[in-house]
Amino acid sequence: MSVHPVDKPLGLTSHDVVAQARRSLSTRRVGHAGTLDPLATGVLVLLVGESTKLSPYLTAGDKRYLAWVALGAGTPTLDAEGPVSDSADPQALTALTAETIAAAAQEFLDLTSQRPPAFSAVKQQGQRSYAAARRGELEEPPERSVRYLDVELLGFAPNRDQLPQRFGPTPGGWRPAADGRSFELPPTLTELPTALFALTVGAGTYVRSFARDLGTALGVPAHLAGLVRTGAGAIDLSECTPLGELGTTPGVEPLAALSQPKLEVNADTALALRQGKKLSLPVTELTVVHEADGALVALVEPRALAAEGQGARDEPPEPSTLELSAAAEQGTRTVQPVRVVRAWQR
């Protein structure tokens, strides 16, 4: 299995990147884990061959971004594609301060649902929302579950050019750094006060919606003036290969790419899982089971003893010596029955 994180360039769709990867890697079997808009850059995880089966589990990881929010102008796409469709009263813009912006942004940490952009890949009545929007049949998608895990204001300035221009990785994520790297951002639509954020969000959260709703909270229209994905699950931007160099690096091991909890097991337990035997293991959530050499064994999750509306299931057998041995390797004897979500043969 092969996982290739790439640094997506500005202006390409995720489909464009996949098409180029198929040529660079000489295979048709290429997919990706988590779409990036054309005006966004950064981490796009490409999956090759058998690793395409990992897509749902890689896509489910949290995402980390640097986001530039231009305050004072709204657009139909909620980003810098334009055109400007709504403008703020200049007096409202002069009242904006870093303190009021930071306070409004913190409210997103309590948000549990949000409306995606009309120009998005969300499906409505069997078709992508952006397809209807581009035909002029603009229909706002319904709200969907979202999670904002961290919202940090890194800077606020009269225009984007006055904000930090270089960034580097830190233990807390990518932050301004004088000796760091710069990012290519889309051209600005007009000179506007701009706020720079570091965001950590759950899967399926649209940062364009964050820009729109932040503006609403501040009483002005707003749009996303730039976006860099600095992390996706366990993958950091520092691990990504430039698209033009794809095929010259080995990529990353699937085990390292998955962000779910890990459980190392011995050869006997690995074989039993691969054979579909019922086991009890020390897990509390979806967990990646692997062998000592890093080979993937299975994705497992706790097996419910009762299914809603179906009544109680048969009690599982007592954990075997094999299962208790696997638990002991992890420093615990607390085990529970597991269901194999997916298994991989050696």
Rounded to the nearest 10 degrees, the angle between the axes of helix 267-274 and helix 321-329 is: 120
- For 120-156, b/e burial (b = at least 16 CB within 10 A) is bebebeeeebeebbeeeeeeebeeeebbbeebebbeb
Catalytic residue flag (residue 7): no
Cα–Cα distances in angstroms (integers) from residue 40 to residues 36, 65, 225, 263, in the given order:
6, 10, 10, 35
User: Quick count: other Cβ atoms within 10 Å of Cβ 54?
Assistant: 23
Cα separation, 137 vs 118, in Å, equals 10
Catalytic residue among 7, 37, 79, 213: 37
Lookup: tokens for 129: 């929302």
Q: Letter for the amino acid at 285?
A: E
Cα separation, 21 vs 186, in Å, equals 23
Catalytic residue positions, numbered: 37
